[in-house]
Amino acid sequence: ALTIGAALILATIVGGIFYATKSTTGKDILTVTGSSRTEVTADSVLWRTAITRNVGYAGLKAGYTQMATDLTEVKNFLKANNIPDEAITAQPIMMNEDWSNNGPVAQESKRYTLTQSIEIKSADVNGVTALAQKSGDLINKGVLFQSQGLEYYYTKLAELRVSMLGDAVKDAKERAQQMAKAGGQRVGSLQSASSGVVQVLSRGSVEVSDYGSYDTSKIEKDVMVTVRATFGVK
């Protein structure tokens, strides 16, 4: 029921679930949208984090030194929780001046925010998810650590899509047979088929898009593919 319901919604977006017409050869044809939907579990996680320091102009040098110490603390925390070095990517430190609304500020009175983004990418989805809940341990050590969110991905999407297309064509043919039967006709051979966009949805969702969608907020996902198939009828 979910498969049919989702397919109906997507078909409405692309302009209708089926239509009958004549081909350039004058033969009757029937064009139908079919779909296939399957459940998957994310096998990769991206954890976006950052460390920050707010310093004055005179404390910039010390601020950069403290950032290096903070990064070491973060890496030690990650390693202690089974995250290897190759899973950690630290971006260069960015420095932004904190602008005052009270007019010009003397150089020695200016303040700056130092920010370093750190990304953790791992196949241990459950482990990293649990680790994100423990990031308060770094705060307790004086590190201004920000957890900016977890993104969940399914890395075998390309292979899965290929395997699902056959089921989508089969679904389209079943739909075509129902429509043709209602009109006293029979479905012939497949004339052409084109695949639609891939929808990666949170489990049970029907919020599809004609541009495709990829939900990264949930571990459990549904993948849906569609095909637009044309059959001869007689």
pLDDT of residue 140 exceeding 70, the answer is yes
Q: Which among 169, 171, 117 has a CA at the least distance from the CA of 145? A: 117
Between 9 and 51, where is the model more confident?
Answer: 51
Residue 10 has pLDDT above 60, yes or no: no
Confidence of residue 6 (pLDDT cuts 50, 70, 90): very low
Instruction: Give residue 78's pLDDT.
Output: 96
Instruction: Give tens-digit pLDDT for 178-230.
Output: 999 888 889 999 999 999 999 999 999 988 888 899 999 999 999 999 999 99
Task: Report the mean per-residue pLDDT for the chain.
Answer: 87
Q: What is the average pLDDT across 126-148?
A: 94
Q: Which residue has the higher pLDDT, 144 or 11?
A: 144
Long-range contacts of 158-164 (CB under 8 A, 24+ apart): 160/38, 160/40, 160/223, 161/195, 161/198, 161/223, 161/225, 164/36, 164/38, 164/223, 164/225
3-state secondary structure the chain: CHHHHHHHHHHHHHCCCEEEEECCCCCEEEEEEEEEEEEEECCEEEEEEEEEEEEEHHHHHHHHHHHHHHHHHHHHHHHHCCCCHHHEEECCCEEEEECCCCCCCCHHHCEEEEEEEEEEEECCHHHHHHHHCCCHHHHHCCCCEEEEEEEEECCCHHHHHHHHHHHHHHHHHHHHHHHHHHCCCCEEEEEEEEECCCEEEECCCCCCCCCCEECCCCCEEEEEEEEEEEEEEC
106 — pLDDT class (breaks 50, 70, 90): confident
CA distance 131 to 138: 11
The pLDDT of residue 7 is 40
